[in-house]
Amino acid sequence: MAPLFLLSLAAAAEPPALWYRQGLTVSAFPLGALSETRLQARIDGHRSDSIVFQSTYYGAGVRLDVSPAFVNPGVTLSLAPIDVFDVDLSAEMLGYLPGTFGLLPYEGLGSKLESVRDARTDHVAALGWALDANPTLKLQVGPIIVLDLFAVSWLHITPPEGETAPLVYEPLRDMLVAWDDVYLENQPVVLYEVVHGKQGPMFAFGATWRDRFALVSQDRSAGLGAMVIARPEETPGWPTFVLLVTEALIDQDRVGKEPFIALQANWIGEHRRAKPSPPEAAAPPERP
**Structural domains present in the chain:** 2-265 (2.40.128)
Whether 213 has a pLDDT exceeding 60, the answer reads: yes
pLDDT for the residue numbered 248? 97
pLDDT for the residue numbered 14? 74
Whether 233 has a pLDDT exceeding 60, the answer reads: yes
Whether 96 has a pLDDT exceeding 80, the answer reads: yes
Mean pLDDT of the chain: 90
CB 146, CB 209: distance < 8 Å: no
CA separation for the pair 23, 132 (Å, rounded): 18
pLDDT for the residue numbered 190? 98
Q: Which stretch of DSSP H or E encloses residue 203? A: strand 202-214
CB 189, CB 204: distance < 8 Å: no
pLDDT for the residue numbered 46? 92
Whether 143 has a pLDDT exceeding 50, the answer reads: yes
Whether 188 has a pLDDT exceeding 80, the answer reads: yes
Span 73-88, average pLDDT: 97
What is the value of pTM for the model shown? 0.88
Lowest mean pLDDT among 7-11, 63-67, 112-116: 7-11
What is the per-residue pLDDT across 20-76, written as a single tens digit (0 to 9) for each? 999 999 999 999 999 999 999 999 999 998 888 989 999 999 999 999 999 999 999
Q: Of all residues in the chain, what percent carry a pLDDT higher than 90? A: 79
Nearest of 51, 3, 33 to residue 265 by alpha carbon? 33
pLDDT for the residue numbered 279? 55
pLDDT for the residue numbered 273? 77
Helix, strand, or coil (residue 164): coil
CA separation for the pair 78, 130 (Å, rounded): 17
Q: How confident is the model at residue 282 (pLDDT cuts 50, 70, 90)?
A: very low
278 phi/psi in degrees, rounded to 5:
-65, 145
pLDDT for the residue numbered 278? 55
pLDDT for the residue numbered 63? 98
Helix, strand, or coil (residue 219): coil
DSSP for 37-70 reads: EEEEEEEE-S--SSTTSSS-EEEEEEEEEE-SSE
Span 203-210, average pLDDT: 97
Distances 235 to 153, 243, 265 between C-alpha atoms, Å: 32, 20, 14
End-to-end CA distance of the chain: 59
Helix, strand, or coil (residue 13): helix
CA separation for the pair 60, 241 (Å, rounded): 25
Cα within 13 Å of Cα(171), Cβ side? 32
Q: How confident is the model at residue 283 (pLDDT cuts 50, 70, 90)?
A: very low
Nearest of 93, 77, 86 to residue 127 by alpha carbon? 93
Whether 280 has a pLDDT exceeding 60, the answer reads: no
CB 210, CB 225: distance < 8 Å: yes
Span 150-156, average pLDDT: 98
Q: Which residues contact 284 (CB under 8 A, 6 or more apart)?
A: none
Alpha carbon 76 to its chain's center: 11
Helix ranges (H only) for the chain are: 2-13, 114-119
Whether 211 has a pLDDT exceeding 80, the answer reads: yes
CA separation for the pair 32, 102 (Å, rounded): 11
Whether 12 has a pLDDT exceeding 70, the answer reads: no
Q: How confident is the model at residue 274 (pLDDT cuts 50, 70, 90)?
A: low
CA-CA-CA-CA dihedral for 261, 192, 84, 61, to nearest 10 = -40
Nearest of 116, 83, 80, 82 to residue 100 by alpha carbon? 116
Look at 122 and 233; give whichever has higher pLDDT: 122
